[in-house]
């Protein structure tokens, strides 16, 4: 008989960045359904996410933070650990995207994306590990990568570079921390209905081209990503380190 407690997050407190909409919101709801307590981090109101989490009889603590500043992000995690309580899981989901031809791409658009998508991700992982290791606690980190961790994409140079970097540091940190009780893994979403993909979905030609390549025949939903993240946070994935789980409707298989 399957031990479904291996998939439970009961008694776990998980911090999720970018929790106000899209994939982050879907992750928060999935954690709540698995019995976990959610700390949602965002730079705008998270009332909708809070309501959805509380509807699952789970606790939700909203935390305002600007993740473009990695020093502020680290201070936020330290403050949460001390005021709310120790964190069992960290989900680095927050991300931004800028679109332009590479010949026209600006330094500002490069730096802005890299600061949020990669620099703050690394230093939040570092801050979490420092807290967990000094307290003698185990922990789970799930970084949100992308199918563009494996591919080039079009007109998103800083996003592609950042998501290649997320996969790289996921593997590096797993090598360093696996034996110390900290699991570091990643989920690589495909094309999901979010604010970041609004421009693609509004472009009839581009949207049709994307859809034609997805074997599942549809765009992904935030809930599709949430289940994979819960698995990587749960005891069932205890022997997974440095892994990346594509959740892409079969995009990379084609």
DSSP 119: I
Strand ranges across the sheet with 60-64: 60-64, 37-42, 13-17, 89-92, 139-144, 182-189, 244-247
Query: In angstroms, what is the C-alpha Rg of the chain?
Result: 17
- What tokens does 38 get? 């959610």
Which class for 184: exposed (0-12), middle (13-18), buried (19 or more C-beta within 10 A)?
buried
The Cα 125–Cα 136 span in angstroms is 16
* Active-site annotation holds for 159: yes
* Helix spans in the chain (H): 22-33, 47-54, 70-83, 107-114, 120-134, 157-177, 198-202, 204-213, 222-233
Name the one residue in this structure whose structure tokens are 């606790």. Answer: 59
Catalytic residue (choose from 60, 81, 128, 159)? 159
Q: Which residues are catalytic?
A: 159
């Amino acid at each position: 008989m399957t031990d479904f407690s291996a998939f439970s997050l009961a008694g776990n407190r998980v911090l999720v960045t970018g929790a106000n909409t899209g994939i982050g919101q879907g992750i928060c709801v999935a954690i709540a359904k698995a019995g976990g307590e959610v700390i949602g981090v965002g730079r705008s109101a998270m009332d909708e996410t809070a309501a959805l989490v509380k509807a699952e009889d789970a606790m939700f603590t909203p935390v305002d933070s600007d993740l473009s500043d990695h020093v502020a992000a680290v201070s936020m995690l330290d403050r949460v650990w001390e005021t709310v309580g120790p964190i069992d899981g960290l989900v680095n989901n927050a991300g931004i995207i800028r679109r332009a031809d590479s010949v026209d791409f600006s330094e500002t658009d490069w730096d802005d994306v890299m600061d949020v998508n990669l620099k703050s991700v690394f230093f939040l992982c570092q801050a979490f590990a420092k807290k967990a290791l000094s307290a003698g606690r185990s922990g789970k980190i799930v970084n949100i990568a992308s199918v563009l961790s494996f591919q080039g994409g079009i007109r998103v140079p800083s996003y592609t570079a950042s998501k290649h970097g997320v996969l790289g540091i996921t593997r590096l940190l797993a090598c360093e921390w696996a034996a110390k009780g900290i699991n570091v893994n990643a989920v690589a979403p495909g094309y999901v209905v979010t604010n970041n993909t609004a421009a693609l979905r509004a472009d009839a030609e581009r949207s049709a081209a994307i859809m034609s390549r997805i074997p599942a025949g549809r765009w992904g939903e935030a809930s599709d990503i949430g289940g994979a993240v819960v698995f990587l946070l749960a005891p069932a994935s205890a022997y997974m380190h440095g892994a990346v789980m594509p959740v892409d409707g079969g995009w990379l298989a084609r």
